[in-house]
A and B are shown apart, each in its own frame.
Chain A
Amino acid sequence: MKLTLQIWRQPSAEADGNFEIYTVGGVSEDMSFLEMIDQLNRQIVLDGGEPVAFDHDCREGICGMCSMVINGEVHGPIKGTTTCQLHMRSFKDGAKIVIEPFRAKAFPVVKDLAVDRSAFDAIITAGGFITSRTGSAPDGNAILVPKEDADQAMDAAACIGCGGCVAACPNAAAMLFTAAKVTHLGSLPQGQPERRARALSMVQEMDSQGFGNCTNERECEAACPKEISVMTIAQMNRDYLRASIAGDEA
């Protein structure tokens, strides 16, 4: 396959960026999207240029690093996949593909397609934990978890923290990410002691990072590579409002 790529290039966080047009040939339809960019970078380096910077790590859909927006769609056109799991057979030979970084004030561009997602780390630090007793390992089945709760926690825990929800959200809100964490921990008995404080402090941190406000447009759910449900957001709103009305401390 031969493709025309329009890619956002920005030398550093402070520098201005712009789109550059590249053509890349010899692309196999079995390649992943990231391998296609590897191929482009090889070509750029051989021509003496600066390769396109992009985030990636596991290349198997579990780490959440491969952030990019492809033709306006977060992680490209296939539902429920990360960019590393996207194959070139999803594109037509000769296609023109626009590749941009995630866009959000809270996710500043570091270079080209790589953005800084430490705002998520701050949200996790604010409440993404449980307190547990130290010492010898607890007995595996000492705390019983109803099947429905375990399923709900497991579904929410599928979140890989990629930030695709923020990138897809018309308001650049981080509600789906934060709600996935709040729901994951808040659905389990082990997460109960901090449940209300967790919702308060994680939401406060989310707000202070400069993300937008949720208007329930559900673009996040539609774009999420792990198909996290917006029902987690209803759950977080419930926990947050309950804590807020009770006057709990974050």
Chain B
Amino acid sequence: MLGHLKQALSASIGKKAWMAVSGLLLVGFLVTHLAGNLLYFADDDGSIFNAYAEALSSNPLLPIAELILATLFLAHIALGVRVSMENRAAREVPYHAKAAHGGRTTASRSMMITGLIVLIFLIIHILDFRLDPKAHDDMAGAVQAKLSSGRGALTYGVGVAALGLHLSHAIASAFHTLGLNHPKYDSILQTAGRGLAVVIALGFLAFPIYIYFSGGAA
């Protein structure tokens, strides 16, 4: 059984399958995170949003959820780095003349870069809100203070844009990796994957854009 698990983690398709599963679960988290955040836009001086934030941080199950999330991230990142390093090693001598054959996209060729930007952004984001005790007194106010500054808005804009680009390749790719694709629905899968990436990216981008340009009065 253990040998079996080890094999699944060393085999190419095994590693990719774990990346796909962890990535898709993270996408599931993003969707719920976005849905909760959108309460910020309720026309009530941020009280629903603050109540939501308060309910989350006082939930006794939160540490378990956070542990699961952290594990998913670490697994995804560790496998991503390993896969990329192995892939680099698989071609020792690069081509002198470089040309694409028509399969790659900007998103697909920059998965490692967008992933790393997301990681840096994530650390900043956790420091800003999760680990800042002051933020928890008035979460809506903290969000407004952070994103109404040019620097804050730009940081969040770039982080979320990188996430959007990462996901625009990642979602369909993950299904393909798990074997869940077929000529009959490949084009639907590609469109749906990009569509969900755009929805997630635009949803999160709404915060820095709206708050920066309105000065934050929700």
Q: How far is the CB of B20 from chain A (nearest CB, A)?
A: 9
Tell whether A112 is near chain B: CB-to-CB under 8 Å: no
Q: What are some 11 contacts across the A-B interface (CB < 8 A)?
A: A100-B95, A105-B89, A173-B90, A203-B11, A215-B87, A217-B108, A217-B109, A219-B101, A219-B103, A234-B176, A241-B13
The answer to whether B87 touches A170, judged by C-beta atoms less than 8 angstroms apart, is: yes
The segment from A27-35, A43-51, A69-77 found at the interface with B is A69-77
Tell whether B186 is near chain A: CB-to-CB under 8 Å: yes
For chain A, give the interface size range.
Answer: 35 or more
Tell me, in angstroms, the Cα distance from A42 to B17 when the chains sit together: 51
Tell me, in angstroms, the Cα distance from A233 to B93 when the chains sit together: 26
Q: What residues of chain A lie closer than 8 Å to B50, measured between beta carbons?
A: none
The answer to whether B87 touches A213, judged by C-beta atoms less than 8 angstroms apart, is: yes
Tell whether B155 is near chain A: CB-to-CB under 8 Å: no
Tell me, in angstroms, the Cα distance from A235 to B178 when the chains sit together: 9
Among B8, B13, B96, residue most surrounded by chain A Cβ atoms (within 10 Å): B13
Taking CB as reference atom, which chain A residue is nearest B99? Answer: A72
Within 8 A of B (CB), among A215-248: 215-223, 229-231, 233-242, 244, 247
Q: How far is the CB of B168 from chain A (nearest CB, A)?
A: 13
The answer to whether A234 touches B87, judged by C-beta atoms less than 8 angstroms apart, is: no
The answer to whether A213 touches B103, judged by C-beta atoms less than 8 angstroms apart, is: no
Known: A216-B176, A240-B13. A171 touches B99 (CB 8 A): no
Tell me, in angstroms, the Cα distance from A234 to B20 when the chains sit together: 13
Tell whether A11 is near chain B: CB-to-CB under 8 Å: no
Other than the known A105-B91, A214-B13, what 9 A-B pairs have Cβ atoms closer than 8 Å? A170-B109, A172-B91, A207-B10, A213-B15, A215-B16, A216-B177, A219-B103, A230-B176, A236-B179
Tell me, in angstroms, the Cα distance from A215 to B8 when the chains sit together: 17
Q: How far is the CB of A237 from chain B (nearest CB, A)?
A: 4
Tell me, in angstroms, the Cα distance from A213 to B17 when the chains sit together: 11
For chain B, give the interface size range.
Answer: 35 or more
Tell me, in angstroms, the Cα distance from A233 to B12 when the chains sit together: 13
Q: How far is the CB of B21 from chain A (nearest CB, A)?
A: 10
Taking CB as reference atom, which chain B residue is nearest A207? Answer: B12
Which of A69, A207, A237, A238 is the one whose CB lies under 8 Å from B95? Answer: A69
Q: How far is the CB of B48 from chain A (nearest CB, A)?
A: 40
Q: What residues of chain A lie closer than 8 Å to B83, measured between beta carbons?
A: 213, 215
The answer to whether A219 touches B100, judged by C-beta atoms less than 8 angstroms apart, is: yes
Known: A206-B12, A207-B12, A219-B103. A241 touches B109 (CB 8 A): no
Tell me, in angstroms, the Cα distance from A248 to B182 when the chains sit together: 24
The answer to whether A103 touches B93, judged by C-beta atoms less than 8 angstroms apart, is: yes
The answer to whether B13 touches A203, judged by C-beta atoms less than 8 angstroms apart, is: yes
The answer to whether B96 touches A100, judged by C-beta atoms less than 8 angstroms apart, is: yes
Tell whether A211 is near chain B: CB-to-CB under 8 Å: yes
Tell me, in angstroms, the Cα distance from A217 to B100 when the chains sit together: 10
Taking CB as reference atom, which chain A residue is nearest B103? Answer: A218
Taking CB as reference atom, which chain A residue is nearest B107? Answer: A217
Tell whether B114 is near chain A: CB-to-CB under 8 Å: no
Known: A105-B90, A215-B108, A244-B14. A234 touches B95 (CB 8 A): no
Taking CB as reference atom, which chain B residue is nearest A218? Answer: B103
The answer to whether B104 touches A212, judged by C-beta atoms less than 8 angstroms apart, is: no
Give the top 6 A-B pairs by smallest Cβ distance, nearest first. Answer: A238-B179, A72-B99, A218-B103, A212-B90, A171-B87, A72-B97
Q: What residues of chain B lie closer than 8 Å to A240, measured between beta carbons?
A: 11, 13, 179
Q: What residues of chain A lie closer than 8 Å to B111, measured between beta carbons?
A: 215
Tell whether A150 is near chain B: CB-to-CB under 8 Å: no
Tell whether B133 is near chain A: CB-to-CB under 8 Å: no
Tell whether B181 is near chain A: CB-to-CB under 8 Å: yes
Among A100, A105, A241, residue most surrounded by chain B Cβ atoms (within 10 Å): A241
Tell me, in angstroms, the Cα distance from A241 to B180 when the chains sit together: 11
Known: A104-B90, A217-B103. A207 touches B11 (CB 8 A): yes
Within 8 A of A (CB), among B46-104: 83, 86-87, 89-104
